[in-house]
Amino acid sequence: MKKIEKVEALKILDSRGDWTLEVRISLEGGFSASASVPSGKSVGSFEVQTVPAETSVDIIESNIKDKLIGESFANQEDFDRFLLSLDSSVDKSKIGGNTMLALSAAFCKSCAKSLNLPLYNYLDSIFYPAIKNLSMPVPIFNVINGGLHTSDGLDFQEFLIIPAKKRIDENVELGHNIYQTLRSMFNAHNLPTDVGDEGGFAPKGMTTFAALNFLVGAGKLSGYKAGVDFFLGLDCAASQLVMGDFYKLKNEGETYTAAQLRDYYLKLTAKFPIVYLEDPLFENSFDDWKILKRELKGKVDVIGDDLIATNSVRVDMAVTAEAVSGVIIKPNQVGTISETLETVKNCRKNHLSVVASHRSGDTTDIFIADLSVGIGAKYLKAGAPARGERVAKYNRLLEIEPEIGA
Ligand code: PGA
Ligand code: ZN
């Protein structure tokens, strides 16, 4: 790769108004790109640590920049190995996973530019160089927000619309139509249409059953049939519901054991066309996950987010435990692009669904959309079909589809 000529770091604001890090890397010949990092609110215990954006800027300015300028790295792995050599801690607490990701992604983007390749093509080429992995993911839309992404909202964090149309434009159209109809329905029911961190509506005191009924109803009013034109998904973010040995579902007025919560999921999935359950149980309860997955009989994708934290070793643990059928991929849970790709490879090897995902605090950076295409992810989860930082990702898919053909 071309020599690095310039490294610039600055703090910028994210969608929650918190400071985050942006890095620009310029390669010789004027090939320059910037990347910024998102941040989670329901952060899993197995994610790498971050440092404040201001600290990242200081670390890059005083410790990293001079080591990079004038250097040329053979490829992304070579660059990421350099980053990892700066911080040998398991949780990347010395320089911060956020510092690593901004540098790693900025290098990746500037290399794509220097090769005159769209980012998704470049990511495809470094993922499995010998084969084409490109395909369009199904965009999934978080239209009702709860949990930590709201104040005092629904028990579960995300109520997802999973479109079943063929093309991205049709799927985005479906998400858009249902979201707008939901707004009208909430207005008609005198429910607030304030939104949560990911742009979905954030009613208070509503049960999960009622929220799912609203989704089916909004689909119908928009001219779509649930179970045919679209399906439903939930990110339960169950680690946030844990109280002692129990799960507390305040809107149901219930406190469940793991077995009772599993029964509750069986009821939900029997009544609604749910095909996706993310983090249904605590982030380390592999045995409970295994039982739930078996009880759902392959009819529902059981997706590990906090359980896996984009960590290849934890993919191995989940495979051994037969705990999941799919995995959330969030680069900032692990640190570098190379480690992210390694985790995706492990998912592929084990025939697990791959779900590329934004974070609840995000920026207008579209890296995750290109990544979802480059690795041939099954889904891209980027929040509601509304709010600038969310639609940036869906709009990027709309741009890419005509370029690669559906
Ligand atoms: P987070 O939420 O970014 O706050 O972790 C997203 C998710 O749990 O999928
Ligand atoms: Zn999640």
* Amino acid (1-letter code) at residue 194: D
Give the per-residue pLDDT at 406. 52
Atom from ligand 1 closest to the CA of residue 38: 3
The alpha carbon of 304 and the centre of ligand 2 are apart by a number of angstroms equal to: 8
pTM attached to this predicted model = 0.98
Mutational pocket test of ligand 1: of 14, 20, 42, the residue with most ligand atoms within 8 Å of the beta carbon? 42
Ligand lying nearest the CA atom of residue 360:
1
CA dist 192 and 187 (Å) reads 7
Mutational pocket test of ligand 1: of 141, 160, 281, 360, the residue with most ligand atoms within 8 Å of the beta carbon? 360
Give the per-residue pLDDT at 130. 80
Least Cα distance to 261 among 134, 122, 243 occurs for: 243
Cβ(360) – ligand 1 distance below 6 Å? yes
Cβ(363) – ligand 1 distance below 6 Å? no
Cβ(359) – ligand 1 distance below 6 Å? yes
Tens digit of pLDDT for each residue in 3-23? 999 999 999 999 999 999 999
Cβ(47) – ligand 1 distance below 6 Å? no
Neighbours of ion ligand 2 (CB under 5 A): 235, 278, 305
Give the per-residue pLDDT at 405. 79
The alpha carbon of 65 and the centre of ligand 2 are apart by a number of angstroms equal to: 34
CA dist 29 and 297 (Å) reads 55
Atom from ligand 1 closest to the CA of residue 197: 4
* Residues facing 353 on adjacent strands: 326
Cβ(330) – ligand 1 distance below 6 Å? no
Residue numbers of the chain with a pLDDT score lower than 50: none
Cβ(41) – ligand 1 distance below 6 Å? yes
Tens digit of pLDDT for each residue in 280-302? 999 999 999 999 999 999 999 99
Least Cα distance to 372 among 36, 127, 31 occurs for: 127
Is residue 185 within 8 A of residue 218, CB to CB? The reply is yes
Dihedrals φ, ψ of 349, to 5°?
A: -60, -35
Indicate which residues carry an active-site annotation.
198, 330
Mutational pocket test of ligand 1: of 20, 101, 357, 379, the residue with most ligand atoms within 8 Å of the beta carbon? 357
Cβ(237) – ligand 1 distance below 6 Å? yes
Cβ(346) – ligand 1 distance below 6 Å? no
Atom from ligand 1 closest to the CA of residue 278: 9
Through-space distance between the first and last CA atoms of the chain, rounded to whole angstroms: 31
Give the per-residue pLDDT at 90. 92
The alpha carbon of 39 and the centre of ligand 1 are apart by a number of angstroms equal to: 8
The separation between CA 353 and the C-alpha centre of its own chain, rounded to angstroms, equals 13
